[in-house]
Amino acid sequence: MQPLWPNPDSPMRIGTRGSPLALAQAHETRRRLMEMHGFPEDCFEIIVIKTTGDRIQDKPLREVGGKGLFTREIEEALSDGRIDIAVHSMKDMPVDQPGGLILDCYLPREDPRDAFVSRSVETLADLPAGSLVGTSSLRRKSQILYKRPDLKVVEFRGNVQTRLRKLDEGVAHCTFLAMAGLNRLGMEHIANAPIALSDMLPAVAQGAIGIERREDDPSVRELLSPIHDFPTGYRIEAERAFLRRLDGSCQMPIAGLAELRDRSLRLRGEILRPDGSECLAHELTGGIDDATEMGTELARILLDDAGPYFFD
């Protein structure tokens, strides 16, 4: 027997940012719920919520508050009961949720790699010295300068379409985008090529979609449970434990990736000096039941190697 809720008279309200990528992720969530439970589309309502991060376009986010700028208003709407679930890009999510909210549903992870995008050259190695690299990510900036200290990095914010326009206007000679976002938008063709993980480790949880709910809402829990992807869940658990121990934010260059084979996890992580002058990397392997402990231990190892002033 089909549940009484959601229905066209009382739809499930899905909260999301309004960018094309955020909407694509909300639509994917709706599609998976429709297919799993046999609901028609009008049992769901997608509600766009403009966040502080969307409104601030003239400053680096690390200067005005970091990751929570893309989630705060959405989580407030969830806590207040104005929406029933919130769909997030997990790389934008702070490691801790507000009281009463929980993240325990993840969709299958997309390609976590970064993509190199340029109108003038094919690879990062082809860029002449002094070329302008556009990015707003401190991680990418530090990784680029570590490999190519002869390049110059300029602030480069906006959605995919805005960044492509800036390339055409000559603001920078190249930029980096997440392959996951390009794939979800059907725009993978604009990438010159994905960057090998050995050359650029991605942001923690890059490529993963998380669905946040109220902890005391059992009906939503039951609806979300069948669409949760367990392999993605184990990987994100390890990566976010790594980030949490590092006290990670947009003000620290941190990269991390967990990969799953059978019931074995391989967790790689790195931290960099903000100016790209040094990179510390390490990896651990273990079982999926040890995901949280692995993340915490990997962070401890890197912090011990780094010493107290590494991020200054």
Residue 219 has φ and ψ, to the nearest 5°, of -65, -40
Tens digit of each residue's pLDDT (9 = 90 or more) over 77-110: 999 999 999 999 999 899 999 999 999 999 999 9
Answer yes or no: is pLDDT of 216 > 60.
Answer: yes
Residue 199: predicted pLDDT: 95
More confident position, 75 or 312: 75
Tens digit of each residue's pLDDT (9 = 90 or more) over 141-188: 999 999 999 999 999 887 888 888 999 999 999 999 999 999 999 999
Dihedral sign from CA coordinates of 231, 71, 98, 226: negative
What is the pLDDT averaged over residues 194-222? Answer: 97
Question: What structural domains and CATH numbers belong to the chain?
Answer: 1-108+207-228 (3.40.190.10), 114-194 (3.40.190.10), 230-305 (3.30.160.40)
CA atoms within 13 A on the CB side of 246: 31
Answer yes or no: is pLDDT of 48 > 70.
Answer: yes
Tens digit of each residue's pLDDT (9 = 90 or more) over 218-272: 999 999 999 999 999 999 999 999 999 998 655 789 999 999 999 999 999 999 9
Residue 57: predicted pLDDT: 61
Residue 192 has φ and ψ, to the nearest 5°, of -60, -45
Listing DSSP states for 21-69 in one string gives HHHHHHHHHHHHHHHHHT--GGGEEEEE---HHHH--SS-GGGTTGGGG
What does the buried/exposed string (b/e) look like for 79-114 if buried means 16 or more CB atoms within 10 Å of the residue's CB?
beeebbbbbbbbbbbbbebeeeeebebbbebbbbbb
- As a whole number, the mean pLDDT across the chain is 93
Query: How many Å separate Cα 134 from the centre of its chain?
Result: 19
Tens digit of each residue's pLDDT (9 = 90 or more) over 114-124: 999 999 999 99
273 and 311 Cβ atoms separated by less than 8 Å: yes
Q: Using CA atoms in the order 64, 68, 71, 75, what is the torsion angle rounded to 10 degrees?
A: -120
Residue 4: predicted pLDDT: 78
Distance between CA atoms of 113 and 109, rounded to whole angstroms? 11
Query: How many Å separate Cα 179 from the centre of its chain?
Result: 11
Answer yes or no: is pLDDT of 194 > 70.
Answer: yes
Distance between CA atoms of 175 and 190, rounded to whole angstroms? 11
142 and 204 Cβ atoms separated by less than 8 Å: no
Q: Looking at the DSSP assignment, which residues form a beta bridge with residue 106?
A: 210
Residue 99 has φ and ψ, to the nearest 5°, of -55, 135
State how beta strands 174-178 and 132-134 pair: parallel
The helix/strand/coil state of 148 is: coil
**By percentage, how much of the chain surpasses pLDDT 70?**
94
The catalytic residues are 92
